């Protein structure tokens, strides 16, 4: 396994590493992963919860009370509840989205998965995603999780980024390259 420091960094990374190590020791990685995914969705869906987590106008006591109420209502695991309490007490709830992303990276590394960012002109179907994941796995040699995004400016094709490697087979790039080549002919 790669060093945790090589995967994540900064304040969010340090908190994610601490949570990940506690989850591994307590054999609670799947539960914490599910809790954080659920919490992330709740924050995205609720402007009030988002404000509570990100706004500095709330005191640490108010943030602690708020996240404790949310955690209880959502029936989050005890480790996640304690972790949210630590973040609130230390005035680090604003780093929660970064902690969640870093935790996801640590879990993926722990499982031997690689994350690929795929940008397409239209949303990929499940079959297309599965086929792409299969082809990427064959090329890379590891399981690949796909983080899909849409950019209509691409016109067609894909941009795939795995780590520092970028594969750009978008129609826009091909047309841009053709235009540059045509200018050179004149």
The ranges assigned to domains in the chain are 4-108, 113-185
Tens digits of residue pLDDT in 155-177? 888 888 887 788 877 777 888 88
CA distances from 121 to 48, 127, 139, 159, 172 (A): 33, 16, 23, 9, 10
- DSSP string covering 21-63: HHHHHTT-HHHHHHHHHHHHHHHHH-HHHHHHHH-TTS-HHHH
| Per CATH, domain 113-185 is 3.40.30 | yes
The reply to whether the predicted model has a pTM over 0.75 is no
Domain 4-108, second-level architecture? Orthogonal Bundle (1.10)
Q: Give me the percent of the chain exceeding a pLDDT of 90.
A: 45
CA distance 16 to 166: 27
Tens digits of residue pLDDT in 102-149? 998 899 888 887 878 888 888 888 898 888 888 888 888 878 888 888
């Amino acid at each position: 396994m790669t060093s945790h420091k090589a995967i994540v960094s900064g304040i969010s990374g340090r908190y994610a590493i601490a949570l990940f190590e506690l989850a591994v020791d307590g054999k609670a990685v799947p539960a914490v992963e599910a809790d954080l995914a659920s919490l992330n969705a709740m924050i995205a869906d609720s402007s009030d919860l988002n404000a509570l987590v990100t706004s500095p106008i709330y005191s640490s006591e108010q943030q602690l009370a708020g996240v404790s109420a949310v955690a209880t209502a959502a029936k989050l695991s005890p480790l996640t509840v304690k972790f949210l309490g630590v973040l609130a007490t230390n005035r680090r709830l604003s780093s929660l989205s970064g902690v969640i992303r870093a935790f996801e990276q640590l879990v993926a590394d722990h499982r031997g998965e690689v994350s690929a960012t795929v940008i397409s002109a239209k949303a990929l179907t499940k079959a297309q995603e599965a086929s792409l994941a299969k082809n990427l796995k064959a090329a890379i040699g590891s399981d690949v999780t796909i983080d899909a995004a849409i950019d209509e400016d691409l016109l067609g094709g894909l941009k795939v980024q795995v780590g520092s490697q970028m594969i750009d087979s978008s129609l826009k790039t091909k047309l841009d390259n053709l235009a540059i080549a045509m200018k050179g002919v004149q």
